[in-house]
Amino acid sequence: MEPSERLELSLIQNGLISPHIMIDLSYRFEWERISTLRVPYMDEVITNEPGHLIFDGYFYIEDGAVPLQRIICTREGDFHVEIYEKKTLEDTSEYGPYDEEEGGAICFFPTAIIELRYRVLQKIETRDDRIKVEQQILELEKDMFEREEECFRKRMGFKTHNTKST
């Protein structure tokens, strides 16, 4: 394992890397929600190997959503990480007492033993690197918005920008 990978993994485990933006092509861009809900919470690290992490906690990404999902960090010194496999191995959620009227128990804290396989893509070294990444993100967002707008117009029967009226 390279020193940068060890550093990146320890930062993730200690909650010091907080990705500003997580690009997941199966979801819309929602800046604040994505940055807060999609950061893994790790209660206990079970296995810590290069590119392979098993932990007890939560990570709000569906198992089938990867490998589309990538964590793109926009701060200098942060890492680009691609999670290419996620498996939920065991439910470890904490539940309250069973309520017969409700027909179940309230889940106080949804956790599971989760296996992540990832690779470090690159590290942002300079301010110029960060600016390039932010420009790429804006381009992706613009393209995605234009495709969604075009699909909406077609569904609603509106004329698209590229058509001429006769």
Q: What does the alpha-carbon distance between residue 29 and residue 27 come to, in Å, rounded to a whole number?
A: 7
Pick from 57, 63, 60: which is nearest to 109 by CA?
Answer: 57
pLDDT tens for 128-148 read 776 776 677 677 667 777 887
**Three-state DSSP class for residue 27:** coil
**Three-state DSSP class for residue 100:** coil
Query: Taking 70 as the threshold, does the pLDDT of residue 5 lie above it?
Result: no
- Greater confidence, 55 or 143? 55
Q: What does the alpha-carbon distance between residue 63 and residue 5 come to, in Å, rounded to a whole number?
A: 23
Least confident of 90-94, 120-124, 157-161: 120-124
Angle at 103 between CA 99 and CA 108, to 5 degrees: 60
- Greater confidence, 2 or 57? 57
Write the single-letter amino acid at 110.
P
Q: What does the alpha-carbon distance between residue 4 and residue 18 come to, in Å, rounded to a whole number?
A: 17
Query: Taking 80 as the threshold, does the pLDDT of residue 156 lie above it?
Result: yes
pLDDT tens for 68-107 read 445 544 444 555 666 778 888 999 988 888 888 878 888 8
What pLDDT score does 15 carry? 44
Query: Taking 60 as the threshold, does the pLDDT of residue 126 lie above it?
Result: yes
* Across 149-159, average pLDDT: 80
- Greater confidence, 5 or 82? 82
Element (H, E) at 115: strand 112-123
β-strand 69-72 against 52-58: which pairing, if any? unpaired
Query: Taking 60 as the threshold, does the pLDDT of residue 164 lie above it?
Result: no
pTM of the shown model = 0.48
25's tokens: 């092509």
Mean pLDDT value across the chain: 66
Q: Cβ(55)–Cβ(100) under 8 Å?
A: no
Enumerate the domain spans of the chain: 3-126
